[in-house]
Amino acid sequence: MDEALLLVHNELLDTNLSVYWNSECCYHCLYQVLVNVSRSRKPGKPSIAAVAVSTQHGSFLQLMDTLDEREVCRLEYKFGEFGNYSLLVKRLQNGVNEVACDIVVNENPIDSNLPVSIAFLVGLALIIAISFLRFLLSLDDFNNWISKAINSRETDRLINSDLGSPSRADALSVDAQSETWRPSAPLHRLRCVDTFRGIALILMVFVNYGGGKYWYFKHASWNGLTVADLVFPWFVFIMGSSIFLSMTSILQRGSSKLKLLWKIAWRSFLLICMGIVIVNPNYCLGPLSWDKVRIPGVLQRLGATYFVVAVLELLFAKPVPENCASERSCFSLRDITLSWPQWLFILMLESVWLGLTFFLPVPGCPTGYLGPGGIGDLGKYPNCTGGAAGYVDRLLLGDNHLYQHPSSNVLYHTEVAYDPEGVLGTINSIVMAFLGVQAGKILLYYKDQTKDILIRFTVWCCVLGLISVALTKISENEGFIPVNKNLWSISYVTTLSSFAFFILLILYPVVDVKGLWTGAPFYYPGMNSILVYVGHEVFKNYFPFQWKLGDNQSHKEHLIQNIVATAFWVLIAYVLYRKKVFWKI
């Protein structure tokens, strides 16, 4: 899979060849030995060596004279999956020292992306067919549609999930002597928030199951973005929105801050424990004892992020101004200025990340190093993966408690343990969640003011996008701070937050204002996020989520298996929704 056959024909009578290889996606990498080919024994009788080459990205090939290490020729080529190619190396007849290197196709490759295209078209056809069917049903049985809508609202009132049940609270009054929270009318649930969470979650399940073994459904080796790099930060972002909306609803119902603080601490503790004990990728190494357990992880980061952001909002919680929806003063930055203590804390926290990342001395590594180590940077810093981020994790947690197979190992051949959910990255995860809190405040402070909400979403999208442009110089590797999921760099946070505001800009009017889309099927797993996430990790090796494939080297079979497994979790979430079963922690 993701490989082609390359036959190297050496027709040179006096030269043994060493063929070196490098991927176009491996930034400033050392060339790696691909194959050695002996010299030709007779004219017209080339020496031939066969080797497998990667087809995921374009390849650079460098042919060197083995004895005097002189470069013979250099090529750039994009091989196709399961293709058969020949690299012909021979001297030109009109030049004694001129060598020609040509690649010819012996057998055409397959179109490995065809199954993805077909799956997309089939999914689009199903969406159109279901939408049309729903439209017909609504015309024929309008009363039944009203009944279903009422039942749906009754179900919504029962939910107050662990990562926040987003509700839009009615206006709260401010007492002349002190701030108080008063009960209000029944709350209207924001479906766009659950829908967004469900989109992120279902994409996360799909890529965790393998994504058809396509490279763009796997995490980037270092800098840059793939589909897999989008989902976790979006989940963190929407968790932040839910934290604020849910907390406002709970305080509005008269709950004490002390009781809520205990609930926040308990939920965070449970998330961290589930991550360490239940969803721990180091189990693939065999039965574990404490000295081999991975301490960081997705749920661990969610737990820590949830705790910090929720406590921060709880400490400085204020009633929403009653007149915010009607006065022109709300066209100012009230949704930001009322949260100045939180913003001050977040800016201080980000200063800590910047200070440690760029000024912390790391033994044997350049200060401020953001590279992958290994063969990157021409192999100068092989054990410096992640710079300060990797050093802090190894110092605080130890090598054995980190992720043992980081994505940087694929292209950069790194040998040190590195955890993409490490300590320093959690700081920027908190920043990401707080930007989600800001989205929640916009939805609450300007409730029923659709134009104001959309304007603010647009402004945030553009501002964060411009910050990303400045930090990255619109480059994958050459910017001041590249977009990097392994580091959770600040440019990664601003870029993905910009995308998140844009998605809400689309979802809010379509789902909540106009009601053009119910959010199905993403809405259902979005309502049971922890159950779906933990369940898909625990049962991923069980039927019907996985079965023996007829051809393990087929993208098509892997893709079908992963789509079916993901669809099962959507179905499970739907059934639980209809049964009014929601897992809370």
Per-residue pLDDT, averaged over 310-315, amounts to: 93
84 vs 319, higher pLDDT? 84
Instruction: Please report which confidence band the pLDDT of residue 44 belongs to, taking 50, 70 and 90 as the band edges.
Output: confident
Q: If residue 228 lies in a helix (H) or strand (E), which one and from where to where?
A: helix 228-252
Task: Strand 3-10: give its sheet, edge to edge.
Answer: 47-54, 3-10, 84-91, 99-107
Per-residue pLDDT at 134? 73
Per-residue pLDDT at 251? 85
pLDDT surpassing 60 at residue 559: yes
Please name which of 374, 379, 396, 239 lies closest in space to residue 310, comparing C-alpha atoms: 239
Per the annotation, the verdict on 219 as an active-site residue is: yes
Looking at the chain, the whole-number percentage of residues with pLDDT higher than 70 is: 86
| Beta bridge pairs of residue 98 | none
3-state secondary structure of 229: helix
**Is residue 30 a contact partner of residue 375, using CB atoms and an 8 Å limit?**
yes
pLDDT, tens digit, 9 for 90 and up, residues 334-359: 778 888 899 999 999 999 999 999 99
pLDDT surpassing 80 at residue 289: no
Q: If residue 264 lies in a helix (H) or strand (E), which one and from where to where?
A: helix 257-277
3-state secondary structure of 48: strand
pLDDT, tens digit, 9 for 90 and up, residues 184-242: 444 467 899 999 999 999 999 999 999 999 999 999 999 999 999 999 999 999 999 99
Q: State how far the Cα of 73 lies from the Cα of 503, in Å rounded to an integer.
A: 48
pLDDT surpassing 60 at residue 93: yes
pLDDT, tens digit, 9 for 90 and up, residues 125-171: 988 888 777 766 666 555 565 566 555 555 555 444 444 444 444 43
Per-residue pLDDT at 99? 86
Region for 343 from its dihedrals, namely left if φ exceeds 0, alpha if ψ lies in -120 to 50, beta otherwise: alpha
Q: What is the pTM of this model?
A: 0.88
Task: Find the catalytic residue in 57, 219, 413, 555.
Answer: 219
pLDDT, tens digit, 9 for 90 and up, residues 323-334: 554 444 445 677
The fold adopted by the segment(s) 3-107 is Immunoglobulin-like (2.60.40)
Give the contacts of 292 (CB within 8 A, at least 6 positions apart).
282, 285, 400, 401
Per-residue pLDDT at 386? 94
pLDDT surpassing 60 at residue 566: yes
pLDDT, tens digit, 9 for 90 and up, residues 467-477: 999 999 999 99
Burial of 41 (0-12, 13-18, 19+ CB in 10 A): exposed
Q: Where are the domains of the chain?
A: 3-107, 158-318+336-578
pLDDT surpassing 60 at residue 557: yes
Per-residue pLDDT at 27? 92
pLDDT surpassing 90 at residue 67: no
Q: State how far the Cα of 52 lies from the Cα of 6, in Å rounded to an integer.
A: 6
Q: State how far the Cα of 179 lies from the Cα of 317, in Å rounded to an integer.
A: 10
Per-residue pLDDT, averaged over 360-375, amounts to: 94
Q: What is the DSSP letter of 50?
A: E
Q: Distance from first CA to last CA of the chain, Å, rounded?
A: 41
pLDDT surpassing 60 at residue 95: no
For residue 525, CA distances in Å to 85, 186, 459 come to 46, 24, 30
**Minimum mean pLDDT among 171-175, 341-345, 530-534: which range?**
171-175
**Is residue 67 a contact partner of residue 51, using CB atoms and an 8 Å limit?**
no
Q: What mean pLDDT, rounded, does the chain reach? A: 86
pLDDT, tens digit, 9 for 90 and up, residues 207-217: 999 999 999 99
